[in-house]
Chain A
């Protein structure tokens, strides 16, 4: 449900829009404004109460039969309004960020760059604040462009992909679904090896081929990404990490269920992971800043890996003539 500010913003544009389009269709107007028909009807119920004088009867005579919209006393109240500072900022910051996305089609980049200049001109001084907000999107341009092509041509992708959790390379065939950028860029696709929907970070793609075979991802509900790109399933195993003050960053980087303050300024973080063994790098990274409390197997694996790594240093030490 939109708030009063957004609704007012929308209604101001709506009257300008309707002025040019007598008999506009409800469905089409709702689509054009990116709202539901119900929201539009709600706006149309408010507008006849608006005008320059409720007692003078100078109200907007706008009505609808639920299908089409009519404005019976069109006048010149409704001129297109200039962009507010926040509107210009929101649009310009987003447009500049997308234009800087490596791998974006050149045609789209140029169109966006032209649009940015025109919006800056139209917004005038209200565009100034947009220089105080910046967003960087990262992607590997060539990989991005290949996936974009596979998506638009509906073709299967072959990847040589670095598995961060396992530390090694894997090869897989993936039916591409979408490219999602949130800081880094990810390919969301149906992995034919694991028979599951997976996210692949573009900077971990060592090699990519767009195959001739058509992509055929199973029909899936788009995942809701509002809480973050990583959304563990309810029945995924629980992982508990206790960190000191130096390990609080774990809570900033890992989607978690809870982060309980500890008396020493640290945190007890509970998260879920479909594959706890894949958190071995985290366990190794923590050093003296934290430890894996559960599952015990993960803590054991990390300990064994650390012991094995230290043996490597002893060998290296003997070779170099160090202690």
Chain B
């Protein structure tokens, strides 16, 4: 049976961490049984590929591996220096540790959840006093990341690598190819968004990860544009969801109805026994939201909003748009 990958990685890590001088590939091949096996049963190539992959994996796990191009009479040498790999002193009290335990549980995505518990394990090994009891078990913040594009985009944003993907804009019948320099990811109301530089449109754009169809492909080369100091994905997305609107709409709402509108109303006036008049912020998407209230609501103005809601209701009622033959 082939030697398990975890065992191989562990051996490579221990070799690199425990040497004071750089080790050549040949020396590592002699020290790690799995490499020797791959070399003997496979080929030089098979061993080389395995070694390169493993090195990348260990780096992904945080190990700093120094490469000395000329360490051993012209042969490349590798080592993981202790001073560069040691966790600096960190003193967390029990309260801080408990709060971090709660935080580390929030990721619902495999890679991030693995990384968060890995971080806690390192801190625990370094002596941070985590309690084993699950505190706050009735408090469950969750960060979902069901979108398949999440993981590749996270890596691309981290490494500042351009990507391309097929994207279906809201309301579009077919997806389009987009070429993007990914800046930042933001999760808002349970959905993930990407902000970045759209190379074809030569402008900053925000994408919703759930609308990316197909694979996220890594592109060669570096970013061409400069990354802004501060990327406020949330503000862009919130504006699209109608937040932060400055225009005002006036609606009549039945007495016991429309609670979500009442909580954001700028003004509420009693009309009669049955109706109240509300002034509410008029942002993107309000027409669709107001249609939901059906006969409990009448839009008074502005006219474009009133027409939008009437048209939506006519559609549901099976009527043609106003002014058009049925």
Contacts and interface: CB of A to CB of B under 8 A. Distances in A.
Contact of A98 (B64, B106, B158, B183): B106
Contacts of B310: 310, 313
Interface-centre pick from A46, A111, A181, A291 (highest chain B CB count, 10 A): A111
B276 to A, nearest CB: 14
A50 B88 contact: no
Contacts of A55: 30-31
Given A88-B119, A98-B106, A178-B139, A52 B18 contact: yes
Interface string A248-289: 110010000000000011100000000000001111111110
A312 B124 contact: no
Contacts of B191: 183, 252
B68 interface: no
Given A94-B106, A121-B88, A303-B318, A12 B99 contact: no
A74 interface: no
Size class of the contact patch on chain A: 35 or more
A51 B7 CA distance: 10
B96 A112 contact: yes
A interface secondary structure, majority: helix
A13 B294 contact: no
Contacts of A249: 170
B315 A179 contact: no
B172 interface: yes
B61 A9 contact: yes
B189 interface: yes
B185 A132 contact: yes
A219 interface: no
Contact of B120 (A91, A152, A302): A91
Interface in B207-247: 208, 210-211, 231, 233-234
A122 B91 CA distance: 10
Nearest to B238: A136
A54 B11 CA distance: 9
Given A308-B295, A312-B295, A83 B288 contact: no
Interface-centre pick from B120, B294, B299 (highest chain A CB count, 10 A): B294
Interface string B127-151: 1001010001111111110100000
A134 B294 contact: no
Contact of B111 (A8, A85, A86): A86
B124 to A, nearest CB: 6
20 contacts: A4-B5, A16-B125, A46-B4, A50-B7, A53-B30, A60-B14, A80-B86, A86-B62, A89-B112, A90-B104, A91-B119, A95-B100, A111-B96, A252-B208, A265-B172, A284-B292, A287-B313, A288-B315, A307-B317, A316-B298
Ranked nearest first, the 6 interchain pairs of A and B with the lowest CB-CB distance are A84-B62, A265-B173, A183-B190, A287-B312, A80-B126, A16-B125
Interface of B: 3-7, 9-11, 13-15, 17-19, 30-33, 57-58, 60-64, 82, 85-93, 95-100, 102-104, 106-108, 111-122, 124-127, 130, 132, 136-144, 146, 154, 157-158, 168, 170-174, 183-191, 208, 210-211, 231, 233-234, 252, 256-260, 263, 288-289, 291-300, 306, 310-319
Given A184-B189, A248-B168, 20 more contacts: A8-B57, A17-B124, A52-B18, A60-B14, A78-B125, A79-B17, A79-B82, A86-B62, A98-B99, A108-B136, A111-B99, A122-B88, A134-B186, A136-B189, A148-B139, A167-B257, A248-B171, A281-B292, A282-B292, A308-B295
